[in-house]
Structure formats: structure tokens, C-alpha cells
Amino acid sequence: MNRPDILSSGEPEIDAITAQCFVRFEEAFGTRGFAWDVQAQIMSLGKAVEIGKGQSATIFSDEDSLVFLAEGACKLVAWAALDRAQVLSFHFAGDLVSVPARAEHEYGLIALTPSQILSFPTRRFLQAVNEESKLLVELHRRTDAALAECRNDSVGLGRKTAQERVARLLMQMAGRIGVASDNEVLIELPMSRGDIADSLGLTIETVSRQFGELRDAGLIETGGRSGVRVLDPEALLQRAGPTGPHA
């Protein structure tokens, strides 16, 4: 997919993807009111691209990146080894994802559905917005929320049974991308069983068996590969296990 220069002589030509990504970004972070030069810096740092299903979104290979997901759904993956992937999180439109260049493991942000993303090199981005403390506070808020989320997931990975993990993921997805209709929730899962397994620290087979058990128990119905109808959210939440030390 070719992209025309986003900066060019005369009036800057901007392609549709770039334009749309920045509009969404401005909406999410309220950068519209920023000083002119800060806005210009942000625009020159951000690279907008469209990526197809299964494609990786790593842009800045030797630098930490900050990726804004304008449209679509992605998974953040770390590899413990070539054959041991761990899905760290699923992301949807509006999310800001912090992607390390390379830490103890190699990371990748991979599209589950065709997605539009806007990538910034973290360090230079922070320098650019250095004086816009509102954005810094929002950035901290989101990172802190991601940390809290990651910690919640840690509890799941360390201390929950296969069924509790699957039930919890379904409830999370119900809340994130589910469509409610009188005490039922319809979910269209953008990720495969393999992705779910990799995110829960299980195998494909175990995930499948848990789907089966939940179906046999009458808590969910499945339609095709990606359709899930939660028939009894209450009971499903029960199976996700306890959520605190309250008794």
C-alpha cells in the first residue's frame, strides 16, 4: 500500500488514513487547543498506517513506541520463545498502547481485524508534549490504568483455573465489545481460540473444552467461530471466580 508524503512542498498533502487517525487522536486527547508548534511536532512524529489481519504494527524497531489504535482490533504479544507466545492484552479503537522496543522479550502489536494505527516514538513524543501537562496527566492516567489491568490479569494467570480464566475473558469482552439485549449479551470475538489460549496461559484444546463446558451448562451459546451469546451473565460471572477477599 503506497502512501504519499505526509509533508510536501506548498500545502502539506495528507492521505485519508493519516487524516482520520489524527482526527481520532485529537478527539481522544484534546490536542486541538495546543500551541501550534507542539501540534506540528506531534504530527511530524506520528506515522499513520493501515494494517491487515495478522500484520504486525511495529514501526520504530529500536525505540519504544506509543501506538494509538484509531480503528480496528489488535493484540499485544510477547514471545517467551518462538513457539511460546503470550498475548498480553487485546485492544480496540481509541486505545493507546505502550509497546517496548525490546525488553526481556520481543513484543509485537498485531492486527486481529484490519486496523488503522498511529505510532509515535515515545521518547521524542514526551519531549514534544513536555509543556502540555494536561496531556501528560492523561498519559499517566492511561498508563496507570493499563498497569492496573495488567495486574488484574496477573491474578488470573497465577491463581485461577482454566474455567475461571475463560469465563473472566468472556465477561471482559462482553463489557468491552458486547451488545446487550435483555439480560443477554452478544459478542463477536475478533480473536481466535489460539489468541485466547495465548492470552490466558492455556492451550487451544483447553480453551475449546471450557467453551464446551460453558455451552453444556447453558451459560453461553456459540455461533460459528466468533459468535458468542452470553445467556446468563450472572452465572458466567460466578464461574469467573471470586473477585476479592470479602469472605
Q: Extract the C-alpha cell encoding 82.
A: 518462538
Listing DSSP states for 37-86 in one string gives HHHHHHHHH-EEEEE-TT-B----TTS-EEEEEEEEEEEEEEEEETTEEE
The yes or no reply on residue 154 touching DNA (CB under 7 A) is no
The yes or no reply on residue 180 touching a copy of itself (CB under 8 A) is no
- Residue 56 binding result from a copy of itself, DNA, none, given CB thresholds of 5 to 8 Å by partner type: none
The yes or no reply on residue 211 touching DNA (CB under 7 A) is yes
Determine contact, residues 97/28, Cβ cutoff 8 Å: no
State whether the Cα torsion 214-159-188-196 is positive or negative: negative
Per the rule left: phi > 0, alpha: psi between -120 and 50, beta: everything else, 94 is: left
Question: Which of 12, 94, 175, 212 lies at the binding interface for DNA (CB under 7 A)?
Answer: 212
The yes or no reply on residue 56 touching DNA (CB under 7 A) is no
- Within the chain, strands assigned E span 47-51, 65-81, 84-92, 96-99, 106-121, 179-181, 184-188, 220-223, 227-230
Q: Name the one range near DNA by CB under 7 A: 89-97, 122-130, 146-154, 204-212.
A: 204-212
Q: Quick one: 23 or 157, whose CB is closer to a copy of itself?
A: 157
What binding mask, one character per residue, do residues 62-101 give for a copy of itself by CB under 8 A, x or -? --x-----------x-xxxxx-xxx-x---------x-x-
Question: Which of 18, 65, 116, 122 lies at the binding interface for a copy of itself (CB under 8 A)?
Answer: 122
Residues near DNA, by CB under 7 A = 161-163, 192-194, 201-209, 211-212, 222, 224-227
